[in-house]
Chains A and B, each alone.
Chain A
């Protein structure tokens, strides 16, 4: 599995506040010249003090020492943003060695196919743990923002704050299929510890990665 996932390079995206990183969500490097994919809602709209903390895939298979709160950060800036699809491309001034998985449409995977999600659940709560979750595509759907329709998949797994911007990857095809954007949760009018109970359903939505090609 390490070889298959070796082409994925995950990052935490955050903002520097008084020499500390406020972690905002997940992302992944997509080009050798340092372009990083995340969601727009993770990063917001300001370029001020945005940074990425870069992990290697080896971190995923080792014990991750979460008592070590020091990290190296790389300044990044927003170079592309699509608010209708909630996608942002960031750029770090660095060269990233190695190859990258190809970007594909959700068309490439059938409903019921296995996929993995790689990201940082709970990073917004100060816990940086690169995590892999296996699940399957439960449905493919079309959703709309304003008058632009896009392809999405419903994944049969619950995700939590910090996982927006995580890559959805097919190990079988070695393709990037999607980007985690969140969970279906109409407003309930109730907040339990800041959580809308409707967020706690057992599914997650990702947008098809094909839209990244129009932004790179």
Chain B
């Protein structure tokens, strides 16, 4: 386990955290929280491309299909103490002293480099993951990492 165990055992104030973000981000996070589990919420987020049946003119399609799986794996590695993220975990501990917002930003920035996607795109998902951890506990959240590795 990591140094974050104790932190996540404290009371977690979602509404206070959401005040740090823009209205559209708050709306997205609340939408994600309406899903029954983390997998469904992340699937909804990473598969979203506006309303259905719209032909989008122009653009850069990227490799969106694998975002969800890669995000889940990399986030768990980072938060749950994978040796590949040792340097980041130390910095993450420092980020926590700056509050949850700094913690969210640090996780999003770290994962965004690995996935080559913008940090701001990951912010709602990271908040969603942190809220989930606050609900289920970090031990339960990290329990799946061995099988995924």
Rounded to whole angstroms, the CA-CA distance of A146 and B128 in the bound complex is 16
Across the interface, A183 reaches (CB within 8 A) one of B55, B64, B67, namely B55
A46-B118 contact, Cβ under 8 Å, with A41-B56, A85-B50, A164-B57: yes
Q: A81-B118, A83-B121 are in contact. Are A145 and B48 (CB under 8 A)?
A: yes
Give the residue name and chain of the A residue nearest to B122 (CB). Answer: A45
CB distance from A48 to the nearest CB of B (A): 6
| B56 in complex: contacting residue of A15, A84, A145, A182, CB < 8 Å | A182
Interface string of B8-49 (1 = CB under 8 A from A): 000000000000001110011001001000000000110011
B58 within 8 Å of A (CB atoms)? yes
> Given contacts A44-B62, A45-B62, A84-B31, are A78 and B121 in contact (CB under 8 A)?
yes
CB pair B58 A42 closer than 8 Å = yes
Task: State in angstroms the CA–CA spacing of A124 and B57 once bound together.
Answer: 9
Within the complex, the shortest CB–CB distance from B30 to chain A, in Å, comes to: 9
- B117 within 8 Å of A (CB atoms): yes
- In chain A, what residue has the closest Cβ to B45? A83
Chain A nearest CB from B88 CB (Å) reads 19
B11 vs chain A, min Cβ distance (A): 28
Stretch at the interface among A95-103, A130-138, A155-163: A155-163
Tell me the bound Cα distance from A85 to B50 in angstroms.
5
- B57 contacts which of A25, A80, A186 (Cβ < 8 Å)? A25
Contact of A170 with B by CB under 8 A = no
Residues from 139 to 172 in A contacting B, C-beta threshold 8 Å: 143-148, 150, 152, 159-165
Given the contacts A45-B118, A146-B44, A84 and B28 also touching, CB distance less than 8 Å? yes
B55 touches A185 (CB 8 A): yes
Chain A residues with CB below 8 A from B97, complex form: none
Q: Is the CB of A205 within 8 A of B58?
A: no
Tally of A-B Cβ pairs under 8 angstroms = 140
Q: Name the one of B22, B58, B118 contacting A25, with C-beta atoms under 8 angstroms.
A: B58
Please give the number of chain B residues whose Cβ is less than 8 angstroms from any Cβ of chain A in the complex.
31
- Chain A residues with Cβ under 8 A from B45's Cβ? 83, 146
Q: Can you list, as one digit per residue, whether each of A70-81 has a CB less than 8 Å from chain B (1) or not (0)?
A: 000000011111
**Tally of chain A residues near chain B (CB < 8 A):** 58
Q: Are A185 and B53 touching (Cβ within 8 A)?
A: yes
**Is A80's CB under 8 angstroms from B22's CB?**
yes
Give, as a whole number of angstroms, the nearest-CB distance from B64 to chain A: 7
Give A173-216 interface residues, CB cut-off 8 Å to B: 180-187, 196, 198-199, 205, 207, 211, 214-215
Are B53 and A184 in touch, CB under 8 angstroms? Answer: yes
List chain A positions with a Cβ less than 8 A from chain B. Answer: 15, 23-26, 39-48, 77-86, 123-124, 143-148, 150, 152, 159-165, 180-187, 196, 198-199, 205, 207, 211, 214-215
Chain B interface residues toward A at CB < 8 A: 22-24, 27-28, 31, 34, 44-45, 48-62, 64, 67, 116-118, 120-121
A-B contact pairs, 16 of them (CB 8 A): A43-B59, A45-B62, A45-B118, A45-B121, A78-B118, A82-B28, A84-B48, A85-B24, A143-B51, A145-B51, A145-B52, A150-B51, A165-B58, A182-B54, A184-B54, A199-B55
